[in-house]
Structure 1
Amino acid sequence: MVAEADGHPRALVLALHGGGMTAGYFHGSAHPDLSLLTLGRSLGFSVVALDRPGYGHSSAAFPAGQSLREQTTAVFEALDSFTAAHPIGAGVFIVGHSMGLTLALHMAATPRGRDLLGIDGSGAIFHYQPGIVTSESPSDITTEASLNNSRRLREIYWGADRLYPPGTFEPGVRPTAAVPTTEARESAIWTAVLPSIAAEVRVPYQLSVSEYERCWRCTDADLAEYSGLFTAAPVMEIRRQPAAGHNMSLGWAARSYHLSALAFAERCLYAQKSALDQPY
């Protein structure tokens, strides 16, 4: 999914969806205010939301998905193809959700990732809440049937209906998809691999934590521990997003959250232009 800015873009926003979703996560159909693509374009950014390997248009080519290392290579190759034919302004800024955020951090931890403008992320922290990974089959957690039949899964990944526009839970509205088996295994080991990845991230990073996050531990102490892993990042900021569940880009909080992400992108642009060590 592509929304190109009129004229020369300020930058390219690369949006990476989470597990069990497609690129449509960033262009929710339940209400016009949900779309990061529409908002970003209106503010002068070009926005590209990819179907990560194993999802949507790529599911036939990668039925089992790919590891995060393999996805890193694939997404950089996709960026090369896009930037060869389209202007991207000052560079690439990533917005990642859940497994899309873990991919963004993998990308940033590579030598090439040091050229990114920055990262904004949500939906992936450090320690899972007890029983999250092992209580249900990871490959089945976000299908329509499992979400509708499991109160626990609905609470973890969505939360209360009031957090979302009317129609969100009608059949076919949510951009859900089965989690590829390779990615399910990657989810299970994230806590173990994060410290080594975080230590190599050398670009500005902002994490938004939803008020009703039920997948990850997110007390103040948990978030301080998480922040402390990013020892090489010039900026590592954490904010809490009110009135949001895990899938905040599909809820009423989406516009507020997306504005915060793009505001951070603006700060990264300013820092680059001004040769500052960190966003103001």
Structure 2
Amino acid sequence: METPNRSQPLSAGVRPLTLDAAGVTLSCLLAEPPDGQPRATLVAVHGGGMRAGYFDGQAHPDLSLLTLGAGLGFTVLALDRPGYGLSAERLPAGQTLAEQAEVLDALMDRFAQRYPTGAGFFLLAHSYGGKLALVTAAHSPRPLALDVSGCGYRYDIEPAELPRVLSRSSWGRNWGPLRLYPPDTFRSLGTLVAPMPVREADEVARWPGIFDDLAPRVRVPLRMTFAEHEAWWLHGERDIAEITARLATAPELRVEHQPDAGHNISLGWAARSYHLRALGFFEECLAALRARRGRPAADDRPVAASPSVTVPRV
């Protein structure tokens, strides 16, 4: 059901939408290609303390993933995760990652019943949303590939310190230098910022163990991006080696660094560059998918043509 949302400014071509999934009503933002026939559908998953509008930044026209993706032939669906937006009243404490993964999988199924999805679903996710995308991919065959930013394996904070850090504003960790963002960024945030539900916050310190468990079950192409000024996660060479070793079953894994960016990449000047790189990755996955479907049925391999790990430095 499409619903008006006058409190949240939206870019041209972006409209609000509500979808019921696994018994939860979620508010979303939707942008479709002009001809209504998407190459694929990109589901954008926000991080902790943000909302779907993170992917439709209003401080500058270059920020919106929704308008960029639709203009390049993708349907882009950005959701308010359970505990945010319309579902916040029913789920004030939020949900665990496992519960949210069930909702996200049901959301994709529900959306596919009502809208053309093209080749299928890609997940583009940020921070806590990246955790959710990885958990979902480990348990669901639906995502064709993942692009995750601002999410790693080990925190750049002692686990015992996480509750204290989360209880503060953590400005520097979330944003980095102010020069990385358009001048109107912090005046335009408006309804994009929301409290992190308590069940999310309670699970944060458990992430390294959760990652250890799920990583061997991620069997789709995956691209991970760390901002130059990322301060939540360890992302040096040894840290990336730990990540890639655990994700050995992914048919393709890329770990990249985004220059001139802070943790909230999609709200900074680097947003367009990051989004174009992600969309380019998805285009490569589409080409590999078409090639795979052109082979004999018995030659049914993962989407990527051959296993590879690339870790470029900038």
Return the TM-score normalized by structure 1: 0.91
Match of 1:45 in 2: 74
Match of 1:2 among 30, 36, 40: 30
Match of 1:114 in 2: 141
Q: CA deviation at 1:117?
A: 1.3
The answer to whether the 8 A contact 2:58-2:188 is kept is no
What's the secondary structure of 1:221's corresponding residue? helix
Cα-to-partner distance string for 1:32-71 (whole Å, 9 max, x where unaligned): 1111000000000000000000112221121000001100
Return the TM-score normalized by structure 2: 0.82
Cα-to-partner distance string for 1:100-152 (whole Å, 9 max, x where unaligned): 01000011101xx23421000011101111247625546644xxxx3xxxxxx
Match of 2:84 among 55, 73, 77: 55
**Distance in 2 between the 1:262 and 1:3 partners?**
15
Sequence identity, in percent? Answer: 45
Match of 1:128 among 147, 152, 155: 155
Q: CA deviation at 1:199?
A: 0.6
Match of 2:251 in 1: 234
Match of 1:71 in 2: 100
Match of 2:281 among 264, 269, 275: 264
Amino acid in structure 1 at the alignment position of 2:156 = Q
Match of 1:160 in 2: 177
Match of 1:93 in 2: 122
| Ranges of 4+ aligned residues in structure 1 off by more than 3 Å | 135-141, 171-174
**Stretches of structure 1 lacking an aligned partner (at least 5 in a row):** 147-152
Cα-to-partner distance string for 1:256-277 (whole Å, 9 max, x where unaligned): 0000110011011111100175
What's the secondary structure of 2:260's corresponding residue? coil
Cα-to-partner distance string for 1:68-107 (whole Å, 9 max, x where unaligned): 1100111111222211010000000000101101000011
Amino acid in structure 1 at the alignment position of 2:145 = G
Greater Cα offset, 59-68 or 267-276 = 267-276
Larger RCO, structures 1/2 (Cα 8 Å, 6+ apart): 1
CA 274–29 in structure 1, closer or farther in 2 if over 3 Å, else same: same
Alignment of 1:183-202 (within 5 A): 183-202=200-219
Alignment of 1:201-212 (within 5 A): 201-212=218-229
Q: Which structure: greater strand fraction?
A: 2
Amino acid in structure 1 at the alignment position of 2:212 = P
Alignment of 1:169-184 (within 5 A): 169-170=186-187, 172-173=189-190, 175-184=192-201
